[in-house]
Structure 1
Amino acid sequence: MAVPLLSAPTYAVESTAPEHLYALVDIGSNGIRFSVTSLHPLTSRVLPTLFTDRAGISLYDAQFQYSTAAPVRNPIPDATIAQITTALQRFSTVCASFKVPEDHIRVVATEATRTAPNSAEFRAAVTKAVGWEVELLSKEDEGRVGALGIASSFASVEGLVMDLGGGSTQLSWMISRQGHMKAAESAVSLPFGAAALMKKITTSINAAAVDSVGAGIQQDLSNAVKSLNLPAELEEIAKKRGGYTLYLSGGGFRGFGYLLLGAHDLKPYPIPIINGFSASREHFAHLADSVGTELTPEQQEGLASQFRISGRRASQVPAVAFLVRQLLKSLPAIREVVFCQGGVREGCLFQKLDVPTRGTNPLVAATGIYAPPGAAKIVRLIGDGLPKSTPEVFWLEIVPALANLLNFHSGVAREGRAAAGLHFTTTGLLGGTHGLTHQERALLGLCLCARWGGEVAEAAGGFRTRLEQVVGGELAWWARYVGAVAQAVGAVFPAGIVVDESAAATEHGEHDKRRLTRLSEVDSKLSFFARDQDRKSHLDIVLRVRVTKDDPDTSALMVHKTIEDIAKVGKKKMCEGLGYRRKIAVIWETD
């Protein structure tokens, strides 16, 4: 459902109405997460978060005492319970401020609470403090909910999935498309979370003992993969792609992902968001191989100074690197790894959505509230300007989102529009949107920049270059082309494609009623026909542009310029640095 741009403020108020709000507490092994999320029907697919916080309380560490002997598990200390109940009381105040209904508040707990010697007493203390029951997730439920969290993180998922907690690791497989998800009947839960594994490494007597731990993990992982019975469909996908995609969730893996992001060839890497960040097997393995099983104080301090790496995460990096080395030796051939923000919290919320809502493309759902009138026709019009060779990602995701945002930045000063569009998906309004890959963020930002002419100041120009390097020269070129076509459409239809005849008659008079009625027939004002042409073994694009003769909306100087600018995208000088180029011939026709 598209909502006109002027309706966005109304939606913003409705989205915070109490009936749409859900509060969740995730009591994990490494920390406790709190959130308030809006599940308003228009944007629930991207799980918009109104409040989020985390208490760095490790229930795993609180229960274990380690020496060179076997670890001893103790009850959760009273002091730790007091810290947790105080944090929950604070969150209770937050929920009251947002007016979250009591039946929309959920507290879930995983491994460390489930196996604590005084689990019942701990949960009773929570209920006494805030009146909320603590829901214990079984191993099977934890794996299932975690899988839903990963499914929520992308439009589609096809591969192996791992969720690394503090005390345990879940391994499964998943195929998720258009809201339908197929996964292993139950994820395999293995007792080597980041905190648990770090304790095993640090209490090992010598290197041989550490190697023995690694051999045991490899065996457990190999057995786990066999028990999952990977489906033939997934094996076929992996065969075509040259290996499996491994989706990684959980704080330990995300911390490792931020280290990979910091070590990226692009400096600074332009997208400061972990969800959707991907790395090749080679880069993943190289980082793991560069980290030893012990860190000097200086090394740990250096890690903790990096973006989004806390002191605690830094201390666990050797354990995560150790696990990565074992899993790359044990799992089927991994082609790339993709990092996910989604976990138990996101899975619990995603579970509430129906299949059609889950199947909505996250990028389209996030931008739909800004759609101008006639957005569907704008999609068709831009699509007519693209040849069949246009990469699929533009047809499925980028063009619909671009149509929704076609005029969003028109109120920005002219010199700032291209830059505002360029940053919109990373540090702008879509920066916090859940469910997007880095490729999607980069492509839409580049298209929005081109839609407003592509002229940016020097600093923004460097950012644009890095975004283009994220997606590669070929997709970057197509983003410029698609954005240029959108710019021409926006010049002809600056208020969208208006089809409300009665409103036109009332507000603008009979003359404007006739003019606005013509806009409902897109082809009578502006139409495109694009085709690929093989000319001397070089594939070019021929774009036919048909406009209405002597119509001021299409014959004005500024409109002509935007159409002529489409051809400039294929000029040799304009393609320098991309390593990809398509020549463009624009042919004008009039009725």
Structure 2
Amino acid sequence: MVLRGELLDTFDYDMVDIFNEFEDAVHHKSPAKVATEFPSLEWLRNGNPPWMGHGDKLIGIFHPKTGQQIPIPDHVITIVSETLRQFVVICDDIGVHRDQIHFIATEATRIAKNSAQLLQAIKAETTIDVELLEKEEEGQIGTLGIASGFMAMKGLVADLGGGSIQISWIVSQRGYIRTSTQGSFSFPYGAAALTKKLEDLQKGKSKDGAKYSIQLFRERMVTNFRDAYSRLEIPDTLVEEAERDGGFRMYLSGGGFRGWGYLLLNLSQSHGNHYPISIINGYTAGRDQFEDTKTIEYAAKAAHEIFRVSDRRRSQVPAVAFLINALAEAIPLGIKEAHFCQGGVREGYLFRQLSSSIRKQAPLEVATRNFAPGSMRRLQELIESAIPNPSTDGIRRFPPDFGDHVIKAFANVMYVHMFMSKETASTTALYSTSTGILSSTHGVSHQDRSRLALMLQARYRGELPPREVEFRDALRSIISPEDVWWAQYLGRVGFLITCLYPGGKIDTSKPVVLFSSEWSWNLGKKKNKEGLILRITLQKVQEDPARFERVLRNNIKKVMKAGKKKNWAYLEKSWGMKVDVKVAEEGKIIDWVGNSGDIAVQFAPPQAAIPWAVIKSVMQVPVIEGEQMAALLATTEKAVSIISRGQVYESVYLKNAPADTLSKNLESALITIYKTALALLYESGNLFAETTTKRVLQSLLKPGHVSGGLEGMASRKMTCCVLCSRANLTQ
């Protein structure tokens, strides 16, 4: 556990009003009494201290007249030490070991005149040493803190404290983080420092004179920002994306920017607006909203109280607005989106402890694993099988922003609320990602929170009381209409799965159920509607006490209703498609698979022709064992998919690539996976060519043989993905 709390940060440049931060110590005391009890603080009584510049940062507490740095007040040291002692007591109560408690402090604490006194006091109260971060290390850890807030990020980053602003760029993908070799460029334009600077520029001047001085200062800021941009060595890929998308994505951290984010959030939840999520990390504002400084300044003045914005932050809003206007003008191509981050030094310190293999994991998926049902992987495969592969012309495809980590998280938690009443299950599931069990999960975008919430709500048949319909519609508004449709379709598929397996465990003694899906262009009464077909194959058995076929027949209409226009989201533009569900017992579908394969292989990559010849010959063998049929179909799908993906990897990463070690390793890995896929198909063909008795003996003597081969193929696939990721990072 790491503490980098507000009290420990008292002397960082972000803490400029001692009385606001330690109001308990001076609450209800008159100015005269304050002057008597705390003489060293009396000069702070009427507002923020006039900070003095030291290099490119404003750090520490300085005397207003002499400019000399003054010591940390004794009573503040006492408050900090006692607060940390209480923190340790809390850790003991919840079972946190002492070696897992870390106190860290930034540069401001390290350079304080009586820093040693503060550290000794903390050690005496808690028996724990404070780790002082060097300036360079603080910057690195701060960057990791920002990266911890998002699964992936590419764009510019800016950290706004009270004394300074740091600007750089970042690329974070699959646990690997790149940033500028120049580090970050720092300017003394922090929220508190800039407030003081703008006041000084106007003192003793006429209105026109003050306006002229501020304009000159603004031009100097713009020049400095543009110079920093040119020296940051921003990768060409980021610049090209900005040119294509209409500006850079900008990730904003630090108290100054978070205050601005909360003001934007306040506007989006008032005056008839109903933004559904009140979590700052992952909150995104478009260019027009972010740069509408006049509206935000007015809101800061007019509102009686603003969620998570103190009076001190409110007083700094004009300075932050001034900064944002200068920054927006200075950045070539402009700012497309502003993404607000909660992560800082504390989160970065924790994130640094993790290996890249752990960093790359999706927080939403990891956070839901404790809720996963017994057959989570099999259930997840069923859900994924309800999504067709991209069409050959590329027109139809599952939305790329709808990541598979959301689907995995859905498979993990789709049983969590099943014990609730019908009156509350859908509503509770709908709120679970914003105020419920998943609300505190760090590193999740608001869009992913919305997707998962809508999937869960649909999984419980989507029944909502009138009051909650508005919240559901607000969640829908922050993702695309296409994503809204897929969320409710997959939620309905989840409902069907839970009808088949109410306990979340797939019993091998029950009939095997397989899902597959495809695009169609001849649905509807007139056979002229586009959509998808969900095909459900049910193992034919003599006895079926679970009545699987009847369960399917009774509930497939719920899935088909996803294709009804009345169930599409009517936002600015509705989106949806027809859905048909076909149920067939095993054996009746073999001819259909063979015919479809003959057609599809004509459009597939050349590598797929040989595997399909093997697959088709295998499928001529009479098959009646459901489990073995499931293994064959899984083998077929995985093999063809992986071989096709290999062709893409060759085209993107090996064509015209230099003959370096990375390229050779990737080529070798692709050859290995091609061999593995073909060998597995060959073994599957031999297995299904055997008599029923031999197949049964084979399954008894070598259980999991085919699935083990699939796992090996998946492992080699992962090796290729990692090598391609590294190749991508080097380009």
Q: Specify the TM-score bucket, using the shorter chain as the normaliser.
A: 0.7 to 0.9
Distance 1:242 1:359, change over 3 A: same
Hey, what does 1:346 align to over in structure 2? 347
Change (3 A) 1:323 1:517: same
Distance 1:480 1:385 in 2: 13
Which residue pairs with 1:517 in the alignment? 508
- Structure 2 residue matching 1:392: 3-state secondary structure: coil
1:468 Cα deviation after fit:
0.7
Match of residue 544 from structure 1: 535
**1:115-126 pair list within 5 angstroms:** 115-126=111-122
Alpha-carbon distance, 1:147 to partner:
0.8
Residue deviations 1:526-554 (CA, integer Å, cap 9, x gap): 22221122359863112222234574545
Q: Per the alignment, in what secondary structure is the counterpart of residue 454 of structure 1?
A: coil
Are the counterparts in 1 of residues 481 and 569 from structure 2 also a CA contact under 8 Å?
A: no
1:197 aligns with 2:233: no
Higher relative contact order (CA 8 A, sep 6+): 1
Contact 1:184 1:228 in 2 (8 A): yes
Q: Deviation digits for residues 549-590 of structure 1, max 9, x if unmatched?
A: 574545465543432111111112222624112111222212
Deviation readout 1:489-522 (Å, 9 max, x if unpaired): 1111112234xxxxxxxxxxxxxxxxx2245xxx
8 Å Cα contact 1:275/1:340 also seen in 2: yes
User: Is residue 535–residue 583 contact of structure 2 (8 Å, CA) maintained in 1?
Assistant: yes
Q: Is contact 2:50–2:64 with CA below 8 Å preserved after alignment?
A: no
Judged with a 3 Å threshold, the aligned counterparts in structure 2 of structure 1 residues 268 and 246 are, in CA distance, closer, same or farther, namely same
* CA distance, structure 2, for counterparts of residue 552 and residue 560 of structure 1: 16
Deviation at 1:435, TM superposition (A): 0.7
Residue 558 of structure 2: aligned partner: 565
Does 1:532 find its partner at 2:519?
Answer: yes
Q: CA deviation at 1:63?
A: 1.5
> Quick one: which amino acid aligns to residue 63 of structure 1?
I
Number of the residue aligned with 1:290: 295
Structure 1 residue 164 corresponds to structure 2 residue 156 = no
Q: Name the structure 2 match of 1:29.
A: 13
Distance 1:252 1:380, change over 3 A: same
Write the letter of the residue equivalent to 2:383. Answer: I
409-418 or 448-457, which deviates more: 409-418
Give the superposition deviation at 1:158. 0.9
Counterpart of 1:233 (choices 211, 218, 237) is: 237
Amino acid at match of 1:541: L
CA distance in 2, matches of 1:460, 1:291: 29
Secondary structure (helix, strand or coil) at the match of 1:415 reads coil
Question: 1:60, 1:105 → 2: CA distance?
Answer: 36
* Alignment map for 1:376-525 (pairs within 5 Å): 376-388=377-389, 389-498=397-506, 516-518=507-509, 525=512
Counterpart-to-counterpart distance in 2, 1:304 and 1:169: 29
Partner SS for 1:581: coil
Q: Letter of the aligned partner of 2:226 in structure 1?
A: S
Equivalent position of 1:250 in the other structure? 254
- Per the alignment, residue 582 of structure 1 pairs with 577
Aligned to 1:174: 170
Q: State which structure, 1 or 2, has the greater radius of gyration over its C-alpha atoms.
A: 2
Q: Structure 1 residue 110: deviation in Å?
A: 2.4
Is the 2:14–2:162 contact (alpha carbons within 8 Å) kept by the matching residues of 1?
yes
Higher fraction of strand: 1
Q: Would the aligned equivalents of 2:532 and 2:579 in 1 still touch at CA under 8 Å? A: yes
Match of 1:259 in 2: 263
Instruction: Please give the alpha-carbon distance, in whole angstroms, between the structure 2 residues aligned to 1:72 and 1:279.
Output: 41
Match of 2:140 in 1: 144
Q: Which residue of 1 aligns with 2:281?
A: 275
Aligned partners of 1:384 and 1:529 also within 8 Å? yes
Alignment correspondent of 1:359: 360
Decide whether aligned partners of structure 1 residues 123 and 197 sit closer, same or farther in structure 2, where only a CA change above 3 A counts: farther
Report how many aligned residue pairs link the two structures. 521
Q: Is the 8 A contact 1:139 1:189 kept in 2?
A: no
The question of whether the paired residues in 2 share the 8 Å contact of 1:259 and 1:306 is answered with: yes
Within 2, Cα distance between the matches of 1:59 and 1:445? Answer: 46
Displacement of 1:118 in angstroms is 4.3
In structure 2, give the amino acid aligned to 1:204: L
Corresponding letter in the other structure for 2:359:
R
Would the alpha carbon gap of residues 59 and 151 (structure 1) be closer, same or farther in structure 2, given more than 3 Å must change?
farther
Partner of 1:318: 318
1:108 deviates by 2.2
Q: Deviations over 1:385-422 (max 9, x none)?
A: 11232213445222101100121111111222111111
| Counterparts in 2 of 1:576 and 1:96: CA distance versus 1, 3 Å | closer
TM-score for the superposition, normalised by structure 2: 0.66
User: Cα distance 1:59–1:118, how it changes in 2: closer, same or farther (>3 A)?
Assistant: farther
Find 2:227's aligned residue among 223, 229, 246. Answer: 223
Code of the residue aligned with 1:216 in structure 2: it is R
Alpha-carbon separation, structure 2, partners of 1:59 and 1:348: 30
Superposition TM-score, scaled by structure 1 size: 0.81
Contact 2:538/2:549, CA 8 A, preserved across alignment: no
Deviation string, structure 1 residues 233-285 (Cα, Å, up to 9, x no partner): 32233334332110011111111111111222772311111111101111101
Task: State the one-letter code of the partner of 1:305.
Answer: E
Q: Check 1:430–1:238 CA distance in 2 against 1; reply closer, same or farther (3 A cut).
A: same
Equivalents in 2 of 1:445, 1:224: separation in Å?
Answer: 41
Alpha-carbon deviation of 1:302? 3.7
In 1, are the aligned partners of 2:458 and 2:491 still within 8 Å (CA)? yes
- 1:145 Cα offset (Å): 0.7
Q: CA contact under 8 A between 1:291 and 1:318: conserved in structure 2?
A: no
Gapped runs of 5+ residues in structure 1? 1-20, 33-53, 499-515
Specify the alignment match of 1:101 in structure 2. Answer: 97
CA contact (8 A) 1:546 1:590 kept: yes
Partner amino acid, structure 2, of 1:382: I
